[in-house]
């Protein structure tokens, strides 16, 4: 039930942002859905990630200066990702397909 609530809230935010951008830019929602989905997906990924090379480098520098070994955290795959990230990623993929179908005549 909790995942369903997060999915509805995430979809509502994505559609709301898409509508706001489309209204602000005087365009159609289909024109901005992919870009908004992409930005929201990358934002969720950035703010929920555990780090990468830079955090590993900072951890190793702290270990070498203090001599205290820090326990390494295992990497988490898609199963451990936030449900909002997965919903946002699906929204982005679906909006890409719908945009390509909508503008297929233009290609």
Q: Going residue by residue through the chain (107 aa), what tens digit of pLDDT does each one get?
A: 888 898 899 999 999 999 999 999 999 999 999 999 999 999 988 887 766 666 777 777 777 778 777 676 655 545 556 888 999 999 999 999 999 999 998 87
pLDDT at 1: 83
CB 84: neighbour CB atoms within 10 A? Answer: 20
- Quote the DSSP letter at residue 103: T
Q: Is the pTM of this model over 0.85?
A: no
- How far is it, in rounded angstroms, from Cα 42 to Cα 47? 9
Name the burial class of residue 91, with classes exposed (0-12), middle (13-18) and buried (19+) by CB atoms within 10 angstroms of its CB.
Answer: buried
Q: Are 102 and 31 in contact (CB under 8 A)?
A: no
């Amino acid at each position: 039930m909790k995942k369903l609530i997060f999915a509805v809230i995430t979809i509502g935010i994505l559609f709301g942002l898409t509508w706001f951008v489309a209204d602000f830019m005087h365009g159609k929602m289909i024109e901005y859905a992919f870009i908004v989905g992409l930005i929201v997906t990358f934002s969720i990924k950035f703010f929920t990630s555990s780090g990468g090379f830079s955090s590993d480098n900072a951890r190793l520098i702290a270990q070498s200066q203090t001599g205290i070994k820090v326990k390494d955290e295992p990497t988490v795959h898609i199963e451990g990702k936030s449900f909002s990230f997965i919903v946002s990623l699906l929204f982005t993929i679906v909006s890409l397909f719908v945009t390509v179908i909508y503008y297929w005549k233009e290609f």
